[in-house]
Structure 1
Amino acid sequence: MLVGLLLTIAAYWSGLSGAFLFDDYPNIVNNQALHLKDLDVPGLSRAALSSPSSELKRPLASLSFAFNHLATGLDPFWMKATNLIIHLLNGLLVYGLAKRLLRLADGGDTPRLGGVAAAIASGWLLLPINLSAVLYVVQRMEGLANLFVLFGLWLYVKSRQRMQSRGTGVWLCIASLAIPTALGVLAKESAVMLPLYAFCVEWLLFGFLTSRADRRDVRILATFALLLAVPLVAGLLWLLPSVLNPENWAARDFTLGTRLLSETRIVTGYIPWTLFPTPSSLSFYHDQVEVSAGLFSPWTTFASIIFLVALAVIVWTMRKRAPLVSLGLTFFLGGHLLTGTILPLDLVYEHRNYFASFGLLLTIVPFLAVDSARSFARFRWMLLGLLLAGWFSLTTFTAYAWGDPLRLARDLATRNPNSPRAQYELGFTYVVYSHYLPSSPFVSLAYEQLELAASLPRSPILAEQALIMMSARMGSPQNEEWWNNLIIKMARRKASADDISALAALATCQANGDCDYQGRTLVPAFLAGLAHANPEPRLMATYAEYAWNVLRDPDLALRMAREAARASPTEPAYQVTLVRILTALGNKEEAERALGGLRALNHGGQLDDEIEKLTRVLAEPAH
């Protein structure tokens, strides 16, 4: 196990020197609430509730970023090093959990169990598919959530063994599920799967039996009724109205039905990505993945459904003869129930396999790490050694690419030439390296790369935004086609988060006087986006800021700010914008009402500074 930990550090070390990436910027770099200078309750509250990634705000993960910043500033090395420490701790928990599960499945303790458990944990630590949960800083959320999941599952198994041997410990069983789940959800919602994983262990290894093993343990049945069945039903009742609302899928390239069909192919594909990964399969960005339009479109959809059904049959038929095989497969399949079914999330992310990959190793490693008396033992050990060497090599190679922004951008663009996001990120990296100097050799590379990214199917307006801004900042001519494509894309589909971020960047650049758009405005693009049913509140708020700061149209700004605040009354930023505009226009009565709504959102004093500023401005006499 120590060798596995040292190999993991060696594999990841070169990647710690890399930069921030993608969602790191809105969640960490540009999130001023995380940039703590002192430890005080309002500041901690603001930091805890500042994540834009989830309605639940993931406060535990956000606070960990804030403490990182307090200690070492925005140095990505220490952010990534913290992630690596969490990953190593998770590896130790995988080792402890695997050892207990192996002992239960084998019916006793043997000298080989520690070695097999170490092989499972070391392999899991080195899996290339888990790299983004370490070097992609924001995905500390996944690693931290699973720290509680793995600890809770280990403690549950330990407590159940105690119950079956001594007849006591039911309260520890309950606590091992309830408390880690509650804490894990504060890092990321995937921690809610802990009771399900424990249920799988109970079904396949403990059998819900009492210490005398002659009858069902009512206490355990009641525990899962309370901590699994009730939350499951309540969660479905809460989610289904929004999931079944077609408007909530309008910004996506898929519907509920086509997502479910697509995920059969994606979940099936995760298996070779985990066990037999290649650089082209693990490309970080997977926005080019084809959506399944029907059972045979593409044909691999139906084949994947048959394959997943076959896995379920294996789980059932092997549950008594090889319970560890069934358990590993249920861990893998269960690990994708939250993100691979009905929620309108992006289709593919490698870090979603962080726990699920443990299930696959639990299935295959004990078969390969057999004792020398078994048939083909040497061949199986050689195969396991080759797998471990391959995982270590690819993780080391990939981590090296992550150690430099330009190297990473080129590597990801090469791995996935059909990904609009990967091609855009390479073009944008060229822009950053050009420093907006027309003489820089990176300028021509940026133009070529961004034009390629803009031309790819289903690409957002990020590439057009980068082309326009780069030319505007350098005082170069702006291609009319860029502007036309931007408007066409906004009109073609409901604005995505990337589209809104691109418009916000264009608007801010113009408002700050850094970009001259040669007489053009962003109004047609905003109108195209707002023409869709139920436009995003953030798009309306962005248009309000643009109308106020650039168009100098207070009526339009006020109307958009009101609509944004009405569409999302629990988002403080929209209320703040509305209060500011109302105050500037002298409408103090409505501003006071909006400020009252803002005070109702001031949980833990997180908005104290903002409310104090707005109150002070409101108290000033009208000019």
Structure 2
Amino acid sequence: MCCIIGLYLAFSQPGLSGGFILDDWPNLTGLEQAKTSQGFWHYVFGGVSSTLGRPLSLFSYALQAHDWPGNPYPFKLAGMAIHIVNACLVFAVCLLIGKLQDWPVRLSAQFSIVVTAFWLFLPLNISSVFYVVQRMTLLSALFSWLGVLGFLWGIQSNKRLGGVVATFAMAVAYGLGILAKENAVLTGLEVAVLYAFLLRGRYGSKRWDAWIAMVCVLPPALVLGYLSLNIANYTRAEFTPWQRMLSESLVLQDYLFKILWPTPGRLNIFNDGFPAYKSLGDSWLVLEANAFWVVLSAAALWWRKKYRFLAFGLFWFLAGHVLESSIFGLELYFEHRNYLPSAGLIIGLVGELFAWRARRANTASNASDRLTLAGLASIALFHLAVYGAEINSWRSPAIQAMSALVERPDSIRAHQEAAAFFANSGDYANSALILNAIEKKWPGFPGTYSQLLMLGCVDDHVMLPDKTGLIARFKSGVFDRGTLDAWNQILDFKKQGACRNLSWQDFQVYTDAITQNQNFAFQMEDWLAMKSLALDAEGKLIEAAHCLDAIDETAASLDFLLLKAKFYAVSGLAQQSLAILEGMRSRSSANLRQWLPIRAEVEKMTEQLRFKLSKP
């Protein structure tokens, strides 16, 4: 095992020299404030990725705040370390699975090493490990593996203590795992699959059947049921839940092929160009993919006793995708969603081979053993070669951006990332060229015009659309995540005295247009906060304060209200500022996650304002 980890470290070194990309920026930008003791907890509990905020993952990022944003290396190194820990847990899980199958110790050890090696070097896992924001996925999986390991230890002990240990392990998996990322709630389904296909025949009992139902099936069922009943809150404009399910049948098929037969051209982090299908008749591919999963699942159930490991691997894979690859309105395709599901698939495939070897232990010849090992070695070398080629594309933002443009011509994000790379490198001409190509191929995005305006701040030669066209685009354009980031960068440039071709008046006109766009309504707090900071930079303190009045205080977040109170205070409106702070205190019990990190600051500010108002 130590040799495998050493080989992994040697092969993975290029991935450590890459940069931050895509969702790293919006999720980690708050690390600037985490560099102070007060801002540390504000960042940890201020997450917006989900209702719970994923504070455990954000805590791990906050510990590395001093390296943000100039040094991605420690962040990527931490991801690689967590992946190695997870691989060790996979090894331990496989040892227990082998033991519970009554395999000889040597056979169990070989099985565990082969599974661990394949999963550790799985090319599809590269994006989970070296895409920094996916540390959330890695940490969630870590606690899931602890839950699986605790269950296996518990069921093999065959004592009352075993049930206690298994229950505690699952509580850890759910409790801590969900605070890293919500996928951990599916740990129960994966354990239920493990029990049903590999263990129930020999270790099953009414007590364990009841435990599986209550501890493993009920919690994820309640969560999935709640989400399904509130499906309107988890639906995207691009597709209905039914249409997403149809499209995900092809996505899951593509995931499967990437796991079993990866190639460098097939693997890429930019998959936003994957089509969304509207009906079964849209393409024969939709019919084929849905039929594929129905037939494969039916066959696995029919032959579940004969090919127990294969059935286990298939249903573990599907169980791991229930949340992110079903009806709920997330984006269609991300490779990192396979981090935990792929492990079950590998365990199933390799386990079936070793189960066959175990059955033939007394009759198998040395020749057949050598043939089996030679086959595994050949597949391993192929995967290792693909891993080496793929990790090479992660060694620098330049290589990643260029390979994405070649391999993903239908991905707008690949083009945006290439444009950003050229802009950060000072090659504004090529950056503008790519942005204009984006506008031609994907018209209607405010982010494209916003990035062109940003380039205009540093290069007077960039050709910009006319003012009327800009306003029209900002008022009605399709939402894209890069728009807000571009305007925050424009604001920074303006504060530094750049953007000579963009007046403060035009800045306000354009951002006013965006705040009228209903496609950006859910980001309204962020846009108004930025507009107020722009007015503050102009010295218009009263206007900056009143700019934030556009959102009703009963609907605003505590962070937004704190910013509003600060603007009122510096504008000389101390009484109004104090009223906002007191209102925040009365609301604190409704949102402790937001309140606790800012409590000390609010109390200090309240005390200062009361003292100021008490003076004659």
Rounded to whole Å, the distance in 1 between the matches of 2:192 and 2:33 is: 39
Kindly provide the CA deviation profile for residues 113-150 of structure 1, in whole angstroms up to 9, marking residues without a partner as x: 21122111101000111001111112111111111111
- 1:219-238 alignment, distance < 5 Å: 220-238=208-226
Kindly provide the CA deviation profile for residues 533-564 of structure 1, in whole angstroms up to 9, marking residues without a partner as x: 58534235413532563488889866662444
Aligned partner (choices 149, 161, 178) of residue 171 of structure 2: 178
TM-score, with length taken from structure 2: 0.87
Q: Does 1:146 align with 2:141?
A: yes
Rounded to whole Å, the distance in 1 between the matches of 2:469 and 2:69 is: 41
Tell me the CA shift for residue 242 of structure 1: 4.1
Rounded to whole Å, the distance in 1 between the matches of 2:75 and 2:526 is: 31
Rounded to whole Å, the distance in 1 between the matches of 2:554 and 2:122 is: 43
- 1:8-47 alignment, distance < 5 Å: 8-35=8-35, 42=38, 44-47=40-43
- 1:282-301 alignment, distance < 5 Å: 282-301=267-286
- 1:14-413 alignment, distance < 5 Å: 14-35=14-35, 42=38, 44-69=40-65, 75-104=71-100, 106-163=101-158, 166=159, 168-207=161-200, 216-218=205-207, 220-240=208-228, 242-245=230-233, 249=235, 252-367=237-352, 371=357, 373=365, 380-413=372-405
8 Å CA contact 2:245–2:327 kept in 1: the answer is yes
SS of aligned partner of 1:244: helix
Amino acid at match of 1:226: M
Task: Identify the range of structure 1 (113-122 vs 389-398) with the bigger mean alpha-carbon deviation.
Answer: 389-398
Q: Does 1:596 align with 2:588?
A: no
Kindly provide the CA deviation profile for residues 412-455 of structure 1, in whole angstroms up to 9, marking residues without a partner as x: 22221221111111111111111xxxxxxx23322222222333
Rounded to whole Å, the distance in 2 between the matches of 1:353 and 1:332 is: 8
TM-score, with length taken from structure 1: 0.86
Tell me the CA shift for residue 23 of structure 1: 1.9
SS of aligned partner of 1:52: coil
Tell me the CA shift for residue 67 of structure 1: 2.0
Tell me the CA shift for residue 231 of structure 1: 2.6
8 Å CA contact 2:565–2:581 kept in 1: the answer is yes
Amino acid at match of 1:151: L
SS of aligned partner of 1:337: coil
Aligned partner (choices 430, 433, 458) of residue 425 of structure 2: 433
In the alignment, which residue of structure 2 is the partner of 1:438? none
8 Å CA contact 1:319–1:326 kept in 2: the answer is yes
Q: How many residues align?
A: 599
Instruction: State the superposition RMSD in angstroms.
Output: 3.3
Tell me the CA shift for residue 350 of structure 1: 0.8
SS of aligned partner of 1:311: helix
Amino acid at match of 2:76: K
Q: Does 1:506 align with 2:490?
A: yes
In the alignment, which residue of structure 1 is the partner of 2:360? none
Tell me the CA shift for residue 522 of structure 1: 4.8
8 Å CA contact 1:145–1:191 kept in 2: the answer is yes
Unaligned runs of 5+ in 1: 435-441
CA separation of 1:6 and 1:521: change in aligned 2, threshold 3 A: same
CA separation of 1:77 and 1:255: change in aligned 2, threshold 3 A: same
Tell me the CA shift for residue 574 of structure 1: 1.5
8 Å CA contact 1:428–1:450 kept in 2: the answer is no
Q: Does 1:561 align with 2:548?
A: yes
Rounded to whole Å, the distance in 2 between the matches of 1:151 and 1:113 is: 19
Aligned partner (choices 444, 448, 456) of residue 441 of structure 2: 456
In the alignment, which residue of structure 2 is the partner of 1:615? 606
Identity rate of aligned residues, in percent? 22
Rounded to whole Å, the distance in 1 between the matches of 2:483 and 2:128 is: 26
Rounded to whole Å, the distance in 1 between the matches of 2:570 and 2:282 is: 56
Rounded to whole Å, the distance in 2 between the matches of 1:541 and 1:468 is: 19
Tell me the CA shift for residue 102 of structure 1: 3.4
Task: Identify the range of structure 1 (328-337 vs 223-232) with the bigger mean alpha-carbon deviation.
Answer: 223-232
Tell me the CA shift for residue 518 of structure 1: 4.2
Tell me the CA shift for residue 492 of structure 1: 4.0
CA separation of 1:459 and 1:193: change in aligned 2, threshold 3 A: farther
CA separation of 1:123 and 1:315: change in aligned 2, threshold 3 A: same
Amino acid at match of 1:363: G
CA separation of 1:257 and 1:560: change in aligned 2, threshold 3 A: farther
Amino acid at match of 2:602: I
Rounded to whole Å, the distance in 2 between the matches of 1:159 and 1:606 is: 39
Rounded to whole Å, the distance in 2 between the matches of 1:51 and 1:243 is: 22
Kindly provide the CA deviation profile for residues 159-186 of structure 1, in whole angstroms up to 9, marking residues without a partner as x: 10112xx465211121121122211112
Aligned partner (choices 500, 503, 515) of residue 516 of structure 1: 500
In the alignment, which residue of structure 2 is the partner of 1:497? 481
Tell me the CA shift for residue 585 of structure 1: 5.4
Tell me the CA shift for residue 77 of structure 1: 1.5
Unaligned runs of 5+ in 2: 358-363
Rounded to whole Å, the distance in 1 between the matches of 2:421 and 2:546 is: 37
SS of aligned partner of 1:417: coil
Aligned partner (choices 549, 564, 571) of residue 578 of structure 1: 564
CA separation of 1:313 and 1:602: change in aligned 2, threshold 3 A: closer
Rounded to whole Å, the distance in 2 between the matches of 1:71 and 1:509 is: 23
8 Å CA contact 2:141–2:340 kept in 1: the answer is yes
